[in-house]
Structure 1
Amino acid sequence: MKLAKKLSEWEQIKLIDEKQKSAILAYESRQGKNRLPFILSALAVFCIGLGILSLIASNWQEIPDSLKLSADILLLGLTAVGAYRFYNRGKWYFEALVIGYATLILASIGLIGQVFQLQPVGLRAYLLWSVLVLPMALFSKKAVLPLVWIPVFVISGLDTLFDFAWFDKAIDFLESGLPYAGILTGLILLAFLSAGHLSESRLPVWKKSWKFWLVVSTALVTVVMDFGGMYYYGFGSSRTFPLLYEGIAAAIVILLLLLLFVRNVQTRTPPTMAAILATMIFYAFVSRFVSGHLNHDILGFALTMSILAEIIYFGFKQGCPKIVNAAGALAALRIFGVYLQVFGSLLTTGLGLISSGLVLLLTVGIWNKLKLKTEKCHE
């Protein structure tokens, strides 16, 4: 219904004619019907699988371990063969089998641990799962499995690395020269992967997945730096390293950032992420010389507003009103929030809220002008 209404609006302003409208509606109608067999097939497989699991669970203790492992290997083999056969026949069937294969791998790790009485160590079972699933996941045509695989691999990998003393010392070394150096380095490496050579013709789904988690991670780090700056630096200030070490640590992070600028130029991608990371690094340096909750609140507010301004500029240059609208709404909310942070008494809070409302109204006025300019620039 929404599509038909939108097409009618386009027809009225002469963007499309009646014939094009009918063709689009017919195509979308066929696309919707093609998904019904997949939905019913997925539901059937789920019911059958759940029934088999229920039967197995009711007789689990009586089933020999050798039979459990043999059945597990057989299921993995059948799923892999099915995925191979459906690779060129349909995205949805193939993707369902790939997800089923990944689920069976995780179940197999748990089964082997139970049969051989293996004790889990941290998140290494999930790291093993991500390694075993990767060869099959690289062929995914949908983003479902890559979106799950990336955080599982990163979190379980970091959990394993922190078990080694050298890695813990390396993070301490970096953060001695620059607060947040550990997570900033991680963001830079994630940005490298997002701006890499995963071209649209090779691994487009993975490239989109890396970009999605880069955006999510950047948002989370921004929130942590904005609202948790005082607490973070209070924790990190107990570290004592020579001044030379601090300079080297900071130089490593800045060098990685410069390499990201070069990569952005080589791949012809907008340097917005590099600019955001540069803003975060500048904030981290300044936070070393700031004390007191109020000053950290103001500094955090400046960080968030700077990043949102960079995103708005990016959306304006790309002619993407959705990005501009989302960043503008977040900026308005942050302006409202800063008054709740800074002002304490009812009088000052009331004055702050009134000022905030006036600022928001002013923002709306500026916003409408920017929107008109954006539309004119891309006509």
Structure 2
Amino acid sequence: MKRKVSKPQYAFLKQEFNFLEQHGKLESEDAKDLLALYEPKGATNFVRLLLVFGAILVGVGILSFIAGNWDGLIPFSKFGLIVIAFILSYSAGYKLEPNYERTARSMYYIGAAIYGAGIFLVGQSFHLQHTVYTDFLLWAVGILPLAYYLKDQLLAVFASVFLIIYSFTAFEPGSFGPYWLLLLLPILFWMNEKRFGRKSSLFVMSTLLATAFIVNTLEAFHFDEWISMLIVFTGGLLIALFPIKHFRTESSWIGSFLFGTVGIMLTFPYSWREWQLETIAPYIFTALFIILLVYFLKQNSLPAILITCALIYRYYTDITYDFMPKSLFFIIGGLLLIAFGFWFEKSRRETVKRHEE
């Protein structure tokens, strides 16, 4: 079975094998045999995309049919239709899997969509007393075993998104908070480590989920907003400064996104009103924030460039919008964005050149 690699990786391997062959380190036939062990996976992306959209359309069509005839069915008939459609989809996926793996995936996706929508429809039909956040929790819990079985990072990412939505149960009156995430968060990180081969997308989503859990749990305990902001800012900064070994680039970007977003929010006076320090604290924090960004810029951090651009644009808008003619405001703002884009592209190219050297 051939090992699937990305197109750039495949091109790099081909170039390296040719290099070894030209320098007499590898025979021509051996180079071909080694290259034959690999297969670029980019060519199949269109097929997978087509099947995913097809699965979505079929799932929506089935659910539209059920919902359209909802009022004419008794509750147990509604439940039976959803269960039958769910079982047929998974059965078709299991049957097709040995010979038509990608088509089988689309059947599984249809089943996962029917399962999730069925949760909402059944809850509505039987007048079950629970919040919409619980529905998203049940949907995520239901598709995580399927994601594990198929090694499908797309399903795992969707489950993470549903769990992020569930984490906002903290805002529901009378809720005890999203405590199921104490169990599910470690499972997601473990699945990425042991089952998915350390996928970047799942690492990013799990990190965002952990952030949402912390913030919303603090909200459930009625902590002040500035405490949540400070924790997210500090956590993001630590991730950016001390990136995780196997996800260095992803850690840098996600950490910078967290501390950069919250950092810009803390430059606004409203973030300090609870302390009654809105007259001086934003400016002190901004000065410290700029010093921090200068440090990251000296480390050739691309995310720091984007944060710096956003900070400059935030103050440009704040200072000039009220008194500058609107046409001039938009023209200068557009020129600033173009300059920021040029700066970012130039820095990125210099970083690539340094890595190549």
Q: TM-score range by the shorter chain?
A: 0.5 to 0.7
Whichever residue aligns with residue 35 of structure 1, its letter is V
The alpha-carbon deviation at position 257 of structure 1 amounts to 8.3
Q: Structure 1 85/290 Cα, relative in aligned 2: closer, same or farther at 3 Å? A: farther
Matched, 1:50 2:37: no
Matched, 1:342 2:319: yes
User: Quick one: distance in 1 between partners of 2:62 and 2:104?
Assistant: 22
The alpha-carbon deviation at position 78 of structure 1 amounts to 2.2
Q: Structure 1 130/88 Cα, relative in aligned 2: closer, same or farther at 3 Å? A: same
- Which one has more relative contact order, counting CA pairs under 8 Å at least 6 apart? 1
What per-residue deviation string (whole Å, max 9, x for no partner) do you get for residues 160-184 of structure 1? 585557659x9xxxxxxxxxxxxxx
What per-residue deviation string (whole Å, max 9, x for no partner) do you get for residues 42-87 of structure 1? 7499469837954x56655444444333333222222222333344
Q: Tell me the residue number matched to 2:138.
A: 128
SS of match in other structure, 1:117: coil
TM-score by length of 1: 0.52
User: Quick one: distance in 1 between partners of 2:338 and 2:159?
Assistant: 40
The alpha-carbon deviation at position 155 of structure 1 amounts to 2.1
Whichever residue aligns with residue 282 of structure 2, its letter is H
Which stretch shifts more, 61-70 or 125-134? 61-70
Matches within 5 A, 1:1-379: 31=43, 35=47, 39=50, 43=54, 46=57, 50=61, 54=65, 60-159=70-169, 163-164=173-174, 196=189, 198=191, 202-204=195-197, 208-212=201-205, 214=207, 236=224, 269=248, 272=252, 290-292=277-279, 296=282, 299=285, 303=289, 306=292, 310=296, 316=300, 324=302, 328=305, 331-332=308-309, 334-343=311-320, 345-346=323-324, 368=346, 371-372=349-350, 374-379=352-357
Q: Structure 1 363/197 Cα, relative in aligned 2: closer, same or farther at 3 Å? A: same
Q: Structure 1 301/212 Cα, relative in aligned 2: closer, same or farther at 3 Å? A: farther
Q: Structure 1 122/112 Cα, relative in aligned 2: closer, same or farther at 3 Å? A: closer
User: Quick one: distance in 2 between partners of 1:290 and 1:313?
Assistant: 31
Q: Is the 8 A contact 1:95 1:141 kept in 2?
A: no
Q: Is the 8 A contact 1:123 1:159 kept in 2?
A: yes
Q: Is the 8 A contact 1:196 1:263 kept in 2?
A: no
SS of match in other structure, 1:123: helix
Q: Which runs of 5+ in 2 are unaligned?
A: 1-6, 20-30, 212-222
User: Quick one: distance in 2 between partners of 1:295 and 1:367?
Assistant: 34
Q: Structure 1 342/297 Cα, relative in aligned 2: closer, same or farther at 3 Å? A: farther
RMSD across aligned positions (CA): 6.2
Q: Structure 1 163/374 Cα, relative in aligned 2: closer, same or farther at 3 Å? A: same
Q: Tell me the residue number matched to 1:175.
A: none
What per-residue deviation string (whole Å, max 9, x for no partner) do you get for residues 312-342 of structure 1? 677x58xxxxxx3x76456335424422323
User: Quick one: distance in 2 between partners of 1:236 and 1:361?
Assistant: 38
TM-score by length of 2: 0.54
Q: Structure 1 204/68 Cα, relative in aligned 2: closer, same or farther at 3 Å? A: same
Q: Structure 1 113/358 Cα, relative in aligned 2: closer, same or farther at 3 Å? A: closer
User: Quick one: distance in 2 between partners of 1:252 and 1:34?
Assistant: 41
Whichever residue aligns with residue 31 of structure 1, its letter is A
Q: Which runs of 5+ in 1 are unaligned?
A: 171-185, 219-234, 240-245, 318-323
User: Quick one: distance in 1 between partners of 2:257 and 2:71?
Assistant: 56
